[in-house]
Amino acid sequence: MNTRQVTSWAARAGGGLVRACVVLVLSMVVPAVWAATVALGIRWGAGNPWSWLPVVLVAPLATLVLSRPVCRAFRSLVTRWTDTVIAPGYRQAPPVVLMSTGYWWNGFSYERTHRDARLDQRWRLRWNDPANWRDLRFTAIVPLTAGLLAAVPPAGVAAAVIGMAQPALPARLIGVLGLAVAIGSAPYAWRCVEPVAVRFLRASAAMELAERVDELTAQRADATIAQAAEIRRIERDLHDGAQARLVGLGLSLATAEKLMETDPEAARALMREARAGAATSLTELRELVKGINPPVLNDRGLVDAVRALALDSPLEVTVSAEGRLRLDPPIESAAYFGTAELLTNAVKHAHATRARVSLARDDTGIVVTVEDDGGGGADERPGGGLAGLRRRLAVFDGTLDITSPAGGPTCVRMAVPCASS
């Protein structure tokens, strides 16, 4: 062994010893409170009518109050020492909002003032949190597991210090043994804290559910906003386009009817005009309906609709698909419009000449891949088309993976989980 190895070992043993001590102290905080209260009760003895008070009241209360800071400390230590991040999973405060009734809503109840609402919310968040039970369980478990193991090196050091000081040989031998145990176990003894913390401090099923509910709530809001905007757009298009044209058509026909006797030539011209107007409004309606629900998608399903899309695209698009997938209409619609958007991007932004679309089912759902030979460099701007596409897919728990290095090629993969039909 050279000196460098020796010094590095010494450093690890020293660091390990310090860490073991920290773990030991932290895990023994709550047991220490219990021990102190029990000792106090015993000292007051049976003669004192209040001797039960510390054990029955103070110790449990202290446990409740201390469990959260202890758990937070363990979490941050584990993150600092091993880079393992453990999600805290405490309940988050919902925003306190002023309702139109003049009361403040804090997510749990209505209060008269903002301050009351905040206080009430803080109290409820702290004491109605399912995470409290998890923290209590952890404070009970940790002294018997990580605490116990972390106690080995300090105990060895203590044995060495006490044993070496004794003149008797057996005691000295025990001291040497203690030293050996301390040095040998110091680099490793604290490591037990990581698995214990990961196992008992991670978010419980209830917390994960709560998070999922939050996520779904946000998605629902997104979806309803998008839907409302879409309906508004359709209404506007109908109002400014087809409806206005039909009014014009009626006017032309009424005028023509009037002119039939007096000026048949002008009447005929008006009729021709009316016919042209009817054709134009049909074209507008057709475009509008295509944007809502493309006819081929309705008639034939996703695969043929994508084939039709490929035919209409200015790119050379090859489509490969497994048979005739039939999925739920909303999922088909999302996949179709996603593909349409990606092909448009390939033309507009990437200036591609060829593209390949493949549709496949795997055991979890449907996967649509769109590749082009364009310039690449596609990025997802907030509020841009790709971000919108990601949101649309997220409604079905779908995912969007984009690989688009500068210089191309771009490959985008949309995956939506769905049961096979």
Partner 1 sequence: MRIVVAEDLYLLRDGMVRLIEAYGHEVVATAATGPETLEALLTWRPDVAVVDVRMPPTQSDEGLRAALAARAELPGLPVLILSQYVEQLYARELLADGTGAVGYLLKESVFDADEFIDALRRVAAGGTAMDPAVISKLLSSGSSHRRLEHLTEREHSVLSLMAEGLSNQAIAQRLFLSDSAISKYTTSLFGKLGLTDDDSSNRRVLAVLAYLNEP
Judged by the rule CB under 8 A, the positions of this chain that interact with partner 1 are: 275, 278-279, 282, 286, 290, 295-296, 298-300, 304, 307-308, 311-317
Instruction: Please tell me the distance from the alpha carbon of residue 241 to that of residue 333, in angstroms, as a whole number.
Output: 25
Closest distance between partner 1 and the C-beta of residue 81, in Å? 59
C-beta closer to partner 1: residue 304 or 397: 304
C-beta closer to partner 1: residue 17 or 308: 308
C-beta closer to partner 1: residue 76 or 318: 318
First vs last Cα of the chain: how many Å apart? Answer: 67
State the DSSP H helix or E strand holding residue 66, giving kind and residue range, or none if neither.
helix 59-82
Residue 364, helix vs strand vs coil: coil
C-beta closer to partner 1: residue 223 or 285: 285
Strand pairing report for 316-321 and 354-361: parallel
Residues paired with residue 110 on neighbouring β-strands, in sequence order: 105
The upper half-sphere exposure of residue 116, i.e. CA atoms within 13 Å in the direction of its Cβ, equals: 9
Closest distance between partner 1 and the C-beta of residue 312, in Å? 6
Cα torsion at 56, 59, 64, 69 (round to 10°)? 180
C-beta closer to partner 1: residue 237 or 304: 304
State the DSSP H helix or E strand holding residue 309, giving kind and residue range, or none if neither.
helix 302-312
The answer to whether the CB of 94 falls within 8 A of the CB of 125 is no
The upper half-sphere exposure of residue 336, i.e. CA atoms within 13 Å in the direction of its Cβ, equals: 28
Closest distance between partner 1 and the C-beta of residue 216, in Å? 33
C-beta closer to partner 1: residue 236 or 275: 275
Closest distance between partner 1 and the C-beta of residue 351, in Å? 15
Closest distance between partner 1 and the C-beta of residue 290, in Å? 7
Closest distance between partner 1 and the C-beta of residue 210, in Å? 44
